[in-house]
Amino acid sequence: MDNIDNVRLFLKSLDSSVGQLEASVEPILKKSLDELVAKSAGTSDQVERIKLYNNFTYVLISVLFSYLKSSGVNTDTHPIMKELARIKTYMNRLKDLEKTSVNQENDDKLNSERAKEFLQHTLGSKGTGAAAPTKLSSPAISSSNFTGTHTKFKDDEPVRNTSKSRSTTPVDKKKKPKSNRISKPKRK
């Protein structure tokens, strides 16, 4: 009697699990796969379509696998195992695709940050804009370099205007430059 009670509890649990499965799968089964894909095509991209196909086939094959297992069929040698392995490879391909797309986005962000930093260094930007990296927002020379005593030098002479292209030293007009000619003796 004890075994019959365990079997009844197991059947009751199985019946409630099947009821939950029917409730979960019912929205998917009301529409055809083409309708589901058309509905997702308007709001999402190709990756979402692939996810929908993978999930749909996985649910379908898993239900068939469960049916075969509960019917007493040896599933180890059954072709359903090949189908499950095929779906698993498709799901792994999708995961790899998503990882590479995330890595590509991260690489693009990193490259754009590097380009902004390069341009700011090249153009001499002070780094006060919104795109400025944190390295450029702080001073290039720390304030510790300016602590202590400083010597102030006084100029003894007034500063001359050095913007003229020629020398500013005055030329004595009375003096004539020496010439290389030999002069004749003077007659008296």
User: Cβ-count burial of 37 within 10 angstroms (0-12 exposed, 13-18 middle, 19+ buried)?
Assistant: middle
Distance CA 126, CA 84 (A): 59
Q: Which amino acid is at 81?
A: M
pLDDT score, position 89: 94
166 vs 45: which has the higher pLDDT: 45
Q: For residue range 100-115, list pLDDT tens digits in order.
A: 888 888 888 888 888 8
pLDDT above 90 (res 33): no
pTM above 0.75, yes or no: no
Instruction: Name the band, by pLDDT with cuts 50, 70 and 90, for residue 2.
Output: confident
pLDDT above 70 (res 158): no
Q: For residue range 38-90, list pLDDT tens digits in order.
A: 776 654 578 888 888 888 889 889 989 988 998 889 888 899 999 999 999 99
pLDDT score, position 122: 79
110 vs 149: which has the higher pLDDT: 110
Q: What H or E segment, with its residue span, contains residue 70? A: helix 46-71
* pLDDT mean over 166-181: 55
Q: For residue range 10-19, list pLDDT tens digits in order.
A: 889 988 988 8
Cβ proximity of 50 and 94 under 8 Å: yes
Distances (CA, A) of 172 to 63, 163, 169, 177: 113, 22, 10, 10
CA atoms within 13 Å, Cβ hemisphere of 95: 6
Query: Could you tell me the residue ranges of all domains in the chain?
Result: 44-123
Q: What H or E segment, with its residue span, contains residue 21? A: helix 2-30
pLDDT score, position 35: 79
